[in-house]
């Protein structure tokens, strides 16, 4: 068969060679070379001198522009008129940027591109009148199926398998109320289906949220399936194979992989204040500066400001009964009136206000009174609506079949052995 295909291919190539146009005198007529347009961020880079760089500590947008021959009036226009698209005060050290320069001796900046992250970028087109806009790189998605058996910890199992570490956080968030991840047993096992993002089909750019998962803990199986319950606010919850919600209305903590450095304590005494009683009405979660702070439940931001000992903080109203507050942020990433979903990043760990180290002081209100969230019996998440139940059960059928077909390593080895026996 390979011989026949090779022969066929050879005939096709030979035929194509014979169809070349010839001039009199058997001279081959050569086609004009095709000019290949090389694009970068949607620009023909053949028209520019390209400069790649990275924001360094102490850099300012104005200095970068001035050093590339952009005049003060243009810099001022960008700073004043394009704050919503590109805030020149918030360029972050370590972020890459690209400058497309004119092809002359002056090499004046024509276009400035700032990479917000690996996928999203902001363009400042400085030619003629200034234009600013945000775009995304072309992304392809690949479905990934993974499985593993716990030997010591979930994170170690994923690391040894070369799987994105963020899958640890995803599984822990989904199963936070059904699996005790601090007391996993050897032999516990899991499966997951999700999509991976790639730039230009080759550069890994992270994972999408899990679409379906299976976790077997102490011999008990737990299925989980993502389902969009509110298209307007783009809300997705996880339910099991019986349509029971796996989540709670609140996350256990506003920071992943943190430690509690100080608990809610109305009788706290501090040496610095002469051991006088100074109540602590929050729970402190210590983590490095810059660590993302998460909204522990869906809600609306009612305060996002800086005040006294609280430093920079955000307060969220979840419903008529519950509110939460997050203190000492280094950066606030939401504003008053924003609707946030459980798990959204609302700010970053800092040391603003009265604090002896980097942490977030998490305060929890119930009926207008501050309480200890670690002692509260937190409400369960809303069950799936009756109107969605039938659609949900139909939606999960192919995902459950796909999960059930994913083999664990020992099952795959056993299957290979059987196939070998049956096909000597």
Beta bridge partners of 239: 225, 245
- Residue 252's contacts (CB-CB under 8 Å, 6 or more residues apart) are 176
Q: Please state the rounded mean pLDDT for residues 217-244.
A: 90
Reported as a single tens digit per residue, the pLDDT across 39-54 is 889 899 899 999 999 9
List, as own/partner pairs, every contact residues 395-400 make where C-beta atoms lie below 8 angstroms and the sequence separation is at least 24, other chains included: 395/225, 395/227, 396/212, 396/223, 396/225, 396/227, 396/241, 399/193, 399/211, 399/212, 399/225, 400/212, 400/223, 400/225, 400/241
Q: How confident is the model at residue 29 (pLDDT cuts 50, 70, 90)?
A: low
Q: How confident is the model at residue 125 (pLDDT cuts 50, 70, 90)?
A: very high
Is the domain covering 139-239 a CATH 3.10.450.350 domain?
yes
Regarding predicted confidence, which is higher, 3 or 311? 311
Cβ contact 194:210 at 8 Å: yes
Of the ranges 12-21, 118-127, 202-211, 260-269, which one carries the lowest mean pLDDT score? 12-21
Q: How confident is the model at residue 261 (pLDDT cuts 50, 70, 90)?
A: confident
Reported as a single tens digit per residue, the pLDDT across 295-326 is 998 899 999 999 998 999 999 999 889 999 99
Q: How confident is the model at residue 24 (pLDDT cuts 50, 70, 90)?
A: very low
Hey, which of 138-142, 153-157, 227-231 has the most confident mean pLDDT? 138-142
Domain 39-136 shares a fold with domain 139-239: yes
Is 60 exceeded by the pLDDT of residue 21?
no
Reported as a single tens digit per residue, the pLDDT across 167-179 is 998 998 888 878 8
Amino acid 305: pLDDT:
96
**Domain at 259-371, CATH from 3.30.70.260, 3.30.2000.10, 3.30.420.10, 2.70.70.10:** 2.70.70.10
Amino acid 122: pLDDT:
96
Domain-by-domain residue ranges, the chain? 39-136, 139-239, 259-371
Task: Note the CATH number of domain 39-136.
Answer: 3.10.450.350
């Amino acid at each position: 068969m390979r011989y026949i295909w090779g022969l066929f291919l050879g005939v096709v190539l030979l035929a194509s060679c014979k169809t070349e146009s010839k001039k009199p005198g058997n001279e081959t007529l050569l086609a004009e070379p095709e000019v290949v347009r090389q694009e970068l961020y949607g620009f023909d880079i053949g028209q520019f001198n390209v400069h790649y760089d990275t924001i360094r500590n102490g850099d300012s947008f104005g200095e970068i522009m001035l050093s590339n021959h952009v005049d003060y009036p243009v810099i001022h226009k960008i700073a004043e008129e394009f704050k919503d698209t590109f805030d020149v005060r918030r360029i972050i050290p370590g972020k890459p940027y690209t400058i497309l320069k004119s092809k002359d001796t002056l090499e004046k900046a024509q276009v400035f591109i700032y990479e917000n992250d690996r996928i999203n970028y902001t363009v400042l087109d400085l030619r003629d009148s200034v234009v600013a806009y945000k775009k995304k790189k072309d992304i392809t998605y690949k479905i990934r199926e993974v499985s593993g058996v716990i030997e010591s910890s979930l994170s170690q199992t994923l690391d040894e398998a070369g799987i994105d570490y963020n899958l640890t956080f995803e599984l822990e968030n989904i199963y936070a109320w059904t699996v005790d991840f601090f007391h996993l047993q050897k032999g516990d096992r899991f499966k997951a289906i999700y999509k991976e993002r790639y730039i230009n089909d080759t550069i890994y750019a992270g994972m999408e949220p899990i679409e379906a998962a299976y976790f077997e803990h102490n011999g008990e199986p737990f299925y989980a399936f993502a389902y969009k319950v509110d298209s307007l606010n783009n809300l997705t919850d996880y339910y099991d194979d019986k349509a029971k919600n796996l989540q709670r209305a609140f996350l256990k903590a506003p920071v992943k992989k943190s430690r509690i450095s100080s608990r809610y304590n109305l009788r706290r005494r501090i040496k610095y204040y002469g051991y006088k009683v100074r109540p602590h009405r929050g729970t402190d979660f210590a983590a490095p500066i810059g660590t993302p702070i998460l909204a522990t439940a869906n809600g609306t931001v009612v305060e996002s400001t800086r005040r006294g000992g609280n430093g920079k903080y955000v307060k969220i109203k979840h419903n008529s009964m519950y509110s939460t507050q997050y203190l000492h942020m280094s950066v606030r990433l939401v504003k008053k009136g924003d609707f946030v979903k459980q798990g959204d990043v609302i700010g970053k760990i800092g040391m603003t206000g009265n604090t002896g180290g980097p942490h977030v002081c998490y305060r929890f209100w119930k009926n207008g009174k501050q309480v200890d969230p670690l002692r509260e019996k937190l409400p369960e998440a809303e069950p799936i609506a009756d109107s969605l139940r039938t659609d949900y059960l139909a939606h999960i059928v192919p995902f459950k079949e796909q999960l059930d077909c994913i083999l664990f390593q020992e099952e795959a080895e056993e299957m290979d052995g059987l196939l070998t026996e049956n096909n000597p």
